[in-house]
Structure 1
Amino acid sequence: MHRAIADPRHSAAPGCVAVGFEKGRLAQFAAAGLADIDEGRPLDRNTLFYGASLSKQFTALAAATLIADGKLGLDDDVRRYLPELPRYRAPVTVAMLMHHTSGIRDSLGLLRMAGMTDVGRASKQEALRLLFRQADTAFVPGTRYAYSNGGYLLLAEIVERVAGMPFAQYAHQAIFAPLGMPNAYFLDDASPRPGTFAHGYVPAGTDGGAEGSGFIQRDTFPRFSGSGGLMLSMADLAQYEADIEHGRRVFTPEVTRILLTPGRYSDGTPIDDGKGLSYGGGLHIGRKGGQRVIRHGGSAEAFKHAYLRLPETHRAFAVLCNRGDWKAGDRLDRIMAANGVPAPGLPDVQPMGLFHSPELNTDYRIVAEGTGLSVQVTSPLVDETRILHFIPEDDGAYHAGATTITPTGDPARIVVSRGSSGPIIFRAVSTPSGSR
């Protein structure tokens, strides 16, 4: 697990913490990199990260506790709680905010279009005022799925008004305290206390500086909560997972039903998030590669996170990174592979060997490259051998730009396609022993 998050190129670099859970219990933990490069403070299980969009499942959880108590309704018109909003073409409901079908515009996008390059300087009230000024929604509420930070900012504001206390205070009272999450809290228009959290970093050269000269600190995250704003450690996530599997102090059956029921459009059609899953309460949910999947990511300029739970096998994995140049999903896939757990939907066959297509008169010599493929392409049409690097994706195939290699289940055959120029069958000339 450590190898999947370590950076051998830099002696002083930001990095990641990673965990694997089995039946709600911490089975594996690894940390690599620094929370503060200047101070040399390392990342560990108690390090607080800015959670970015991982926050949404906790915002939805806060709302779900009020819904389960009968204080809030999924079908309630949000203007009941937010009369500052205009009357739109169709009513926006609490469920629409939770499921990203409201058409409410993205608050962070609005702030940036209004000229604010660093949204970390915005206050909650400034973001809310922009949302309240929108004369219309982006589409008729309930008719489309469009991921919206604005919808979750409004959801948090509704929780605050229904609970009668600041959202951060209610989240502590209803979630963090009963779960025993030792470090977690939501920001409330203030920066985290210095020395208590991981700074975010991007490589030097991002703003035109010299490449290869280290990392630049970037704590450019919003200081208000709802769409983001959660400060979270892996020690906190361990308590969260334990309650899902064993405790039920917060994840009661009713709360779980609210969060994990796929949303629907107004016509009753299930939501499609565009990536083969639906959306529930702050979570992408559905089936991938025959497995039930619950997942979400989090991304800010200098923070990249990924979280995935496989409820049928009672396993979960998470990675929190304080560097903006890494893809957390790729790190998560590596961590899972190191544990012998293929990421849902990824190819379950890694073809290796020499393959030939008579139709193209071309050879593909394929070798494993981590979880991906390195492919040497030889053709009489070109004098030089070309090397392509394919990465696995959760559609069950390997991709290098527009070119796709799809295993067939038969180690002697692969299918190669590129747009409308495929599929082309390649047959094995030779395969190494032990290839899968």
Structure 2
Amino acid sequence: MSSIRLKASFTAFNDSTPGIGVIANFKGKTVYQETLGLANCELRVPIQLDSVFNLASVSKPFTGMAILQLIERGELSATDKLTRFVPELKHYANEVSIYELVHHSAGFIDYNELLWQKARQHALHSDNAEVLSLLVQQDQPRFPPGSKFDYSNSNYVLLALIIERITGLSLRDYLKRYIFGVIGMENSTVFNEEQPVVPNRAYGYEPCGANWKCNYADTFATGTANVFSSLEDLKKWDDALYGNQLLGEVAKRAIFTPGLDSAGAPLTEYWGGYSYGWMIQERCGAKTIWHTGGDAGFRSIIVRFYEQQFSVILLCNSASLDWAETYAFIERLYGEFQPN
């Protein structure tokens, strides 16, 4: 039994505050699981393994998987131009490829910056249609496509639009049919402008003086955020990534291959690399793919030490999560189990 405890590791949370849930997965077996705090502070509902959190940017790997599935099925190519599917952007994005979207080298301004410029008057209505309308109003990219790495949420909204236009399915229906439903992620969905009822839903909070402020939602944009899922379901996702239920071995290699710029050089050295919704980096002396998320009072992270088949999944419903504490906690878990 592990000696590591959430209360000792995360000083901002207790049984009366928003909190954290964690699962560590080693070769398909849960070797650590713990929850702390409340999923709903108003009703004093504690966080459980099946509590459903907004994953924020940890949604991006699901979008990346959907794109790879379409590529594997021959419905899409990484070299295809964006405007084949989104002709509304032909006036300045004719050269942008799918490859550049998935690797954040397309040159699109982050739609959040455009919303801030509008004073976020319609923040709760920033669905994919509005994001596209904001991008259409631009007249040039921030830099030549493929020339450098620039993390932009707009890229993954555009990927969601491509998925929907190719398949005729909403992103929610696509993920349910080809990912969630395949591996039994029964408590997972995509939260969009339809605002579906989400059983076991956790709500996001941020400190407000001595109290907590509840955040309902910050955006309805999908592809980049708004996959809602639980610790239990994310363990199923982690397990499935080692097999071929979702994607064949050849296509899956792209997840572990850092993106290159138009000159063939690595796009980013800061993270080690980025590909199809995953950051690629060495941690604790081991290779990992990982991603963090932060939105509407939620914070999330999944770190996959894939050669050791050891992963840590952490979900939090407070904007006050300390990332330094979080990384130290993950390193302690890895050090305790020392998978090999």
Aligned residue in 1 for 2:106:
102
Question: Is residue 19–residue 38 contact of structure 2 (8 Å, CA) maintained in 1?
Answer: yes
Change (3 A) 1:329 1:69: farther
Task: Select which of 78, 101, 108 maps to 2:82.
Answer: 78
- The 2-side partners of 1:5 and 1:109 are apart by 34
Name the SS for the 1:84 alignment partner.
helix
Amino acid of the structure 2 residue aligned with 1:70: G
Change (3 A) 1:311 1:8: closer
Moved more, 107-116 or 158-167: 107-116
Change (3 A) 1:299 1:231: same
Runs of 4+ displaced beyond 6 Å: none
Does 2:23 match 1:13? no
Change (3 A) 1:102 1:7: same
Task: Select which of 130, 134, 141 maps to 2:145.
Answer: 141
Name the SS for the 1:298 alignment partner.
strand
Aligned residue in 1 for 2:295:
300
Change (3 A) 1:117 1:196: farther
Q: Number of aligned residue pairs: give it.
A: 334
Change (3 A) 1:200 1:262: same
Amino acid of the structure 1 residue aligned with 2:177: Q
Amino acid of the structure 2 residue aligned with 1:244: L
RMSD: 2.2
Name the SS for the 1:85 alignment partner.
helix
Amino acid of the structure 1 residue aligned with 2:231: M
Does 2:37 match 1:33? yes
Name the SS for the 1:191 alignment partner.
coil
Task: Select which of 113, 122, 128 maps to 2:126.
Answer: 122
Does 2:237 match 1:234? no
Question: Is residue 7–residue 13 contact of structure 1 (8 Å, CA) maintained in 2?
Answer: no
- The 1-side partners of 2:119 and 2:294 are apart by 21
Deviation at 1:53, TM superposition (A): 0.3
Aligned residue in 2 for 1:265:
261
Aligned residue in 2 for 1:387:
none
Question: Is residue 6–residue 15 contact of structure 1 (8 Å, CA) maintained in 2?
Answer: no
Task: Select which of 297, 321, 327 maps to 1:326.
Answer: 321
Could you list the per-position Cα deviations for residues 112-160 of structure 1 after superposition, in whole angstroms to 9, with x for gaps in the alignment? 2122157333232111110122111110000010001001000110011
Deviation at 1:64, TM superposition (A): 0.8
- The 2-side partners of 1:190 and 1:132 are apart by 23
Does 2:225 match 1:225? no
Aligned residue in 2 for 1:2:
5
Indicate the percent of aligned positions where both proteins have the same amino acid.
28
Question: Is residue 13–residue 19 contact of structure 2 (8 Å, CA) maintained in 1?
Answer: no
Could you list the per-position Cα deviations for residues 165-222 of structure 1 after superposition, in whole angstroms to 9, with x for gaps in the alignment? 21211111111100111211112313342663111011122xxxxxx2x211112331
The residue correspondences of 1:248-287 to structure 2 (distance < 5 A) are 248-272=244-268, 274-287=269-282
Structure 2 stretches lacking a partner, 5+ long? none
Does 2:200 match 1:196? yes
Structure 1 stretches lacking a partner, 5+ long? 206-211, 344-436
Aligned residue in 2 for 1:367:
none
The residue correspondences of 1:305-316 to structure 2 (distance < 5 A) are 305-316=300-311
* TM-score, reference length from structure 2: 0.92
Deviation at 1:258, TM superposition (A): 2.6
Task: Select which of 329, 332, 337 maps to 1:337.
Answer: 332
Question: Is residue 317–residue 336 contact of structure 1 (8 Å, CA) maintained in 2?
Answer: no
Question: Is residue 15–residue 36 contact of structure 2 (8 Å, CA) maintained in 1?
Answer: no
The residue correspondences of 1:339-358 to structure 2 (distance < 5 A) are 339-340=334-335
- The 2-side partners of 1:241 and 1:339 are apart by 16
Question: Is residue 64–residue 102 contact of structure 2 (8 Å, CA) maintained in 1?
Answer: yes
- The 2-side partners of 1:306 and 1:300 are apart by 12
- The 2-side partners of 1:308 and 1:62 are apart by 20
Point out the structure with the larger strand share: 1
Question: Is residue 5–residue 15 contact of structure 1 (8 Å, CA) maintained in 2?
Answer: no
Deviation at 1:329, TM superposition (A): 5.5
**Higher relative contact order, structure no. (Cα contacts within 8 Å, ≥ 6 residues apart):** 2
